[in-house]
Amino acid sequence: MNRSHRLTLLLGLLAGARTFAAVLPDDRADVLYHRYEGGGVTIDGPSVLVRRKFLDRVSVSAGYYVDMVSSASIDVKLAASPYREDRTQYSLGVDYLRGKSTYSLGFIDSRESDYIADTAIATVSQDLFGDLTTISFSYRRGWDQVWRNVRDPVTGHRAHDPGFAERADRRGYAVDVSQILTRNMIVGATLEVVTDEGYLNSPYRSVRYLDPGNAGRGFGLAREIYPHTRTSNATALRAKYFLSYRAALEGRGRFYSDTWGVRAWEAELGYTHPAWKKWIFDATYRYYTQQAADFYSDLLPRRGFQNFQARDKELASFSSHTFGLGASYQFTAPRVRWIERSTLNLRYNHMMIDYDDFRDATATDPARGILPGGEPLYSLDADVFQLFLSIWF
Chain segment 358-380, per-residue pLDDT in tens: 999 999 988 888 999 999 999 99
Domain tally for the chain? 1
pLDDT on residue 358 = 97
Q: What is the pLDDT of residues 129-175, one digit of tens each?
A: 988 999 999 999 999 999 999 887 777 778 899 999 999 999 999 99
Task: Give the single-character DSSP code of 362.
Answer: G
Name every residue whose Cβ is closer than 8 Å to that of residue 349 and which is 6 or more positions away in sequence. Answer: 284, 322, 323, 324, 383, 384
- The answer to whether residue 21 scores a pLDDT higher than 80 is no
What pLDDT is attached to residue 246?
Answer: 86
d(CA 76, CA 84): 12
pTM attached to this predicted model: 0.90
Distance from C-alpha of 114 to C-alpha of 80, rounded to nearest angstrom? 16
> Region 210-232: what's the mean pLDDT?
93
Position 41, amino acid: V
**Longest CA–CA separation in the chain, Å:** 75
pLDDT at residue 16 tops 60: no
Q: Report the DSSP beta bridge partners of residue 280.
A: 274, 328
Please choose, from the candidates 230, 219, 155, the residue with its C-alpha nearest in 3D space to the C-alpha of residue 371. 219
> What's the pLDDT tens digit per position in 205-216?
999 999 988 878
Per the prediction, the chain carries an average pLDDT of 91
pLDDT tens digit sequence for 48-59:
999 999 988 999
Beta bridge partners of 388: 32, 345
pLDDT value at residue 1: 47
The 10 Å Cβ neighbour count of residue 369 is 7
Question: Cα–Cα–Cα angle for 57, 62, 65, nearest 5°?
Answer: 150
CA distance 242 to 251: 12
How many of the other CB atoms lie within 10 Å of CB of 67? 21
Q: Is the dihedral of CA 35, 81, 8, 264 positive or negative?
A: negative
- Give the pLDDT confidence of 177-220 residue by residue, as tens digits: 999 999 999 999 999 999 999 999 999 899 999 998 887 889 99
- Cα(317)–Cα(379) distance, integer angstroms: 12
Mean pLDDT for 270-292 is 96
Q: From the centroid of its chain, how far is CA 250?
A: 21
Model confidence at 2, pLDDT cuts 50, 70, 90, reads low
The C-alpha atoms of residue 106 and residue 27 are separated, in whole angstroms, by 17
Residue 18, pLDDT above cutoff 50: no
Q: With the C-alpha atoms ordered 288, 348, 354, 294, is the resulting torsion angle positive or negative? A: positive
pLDDT at 130 (0 to 100): 87
Instruction: Give the residue-averaged pLDDT of 342-350.
Output: 97
Q: Which range marks the domain in which residue 311 is found?
A: 3-392
Query: C-alpha angle with apex 122: 119 to 123, nearest 5 degrees?
Result: 140
For position 10, what pLDDT does the model report? Answer: 46
Q: Mean pLDDT across the stretch 294-320?
A: 96
CATH of the domain at 283: 2.40.160.40
Report pLDDT digits (tens) over 282-293: 999 999 999 999
Between residues 268 and 18, the one the model is more confident about? 268
**Per-residue confidence (pLDDT) for residue 14, from 0 to 100:** 47
> What is the structure's pLDDT at 71?
84
Check residue 200 and give its pLDDT: 96
- Percent of the chain having pLDDT more than 90? 78
pLDDT tier at 3 (50, 70, 90 boundaries)?
low
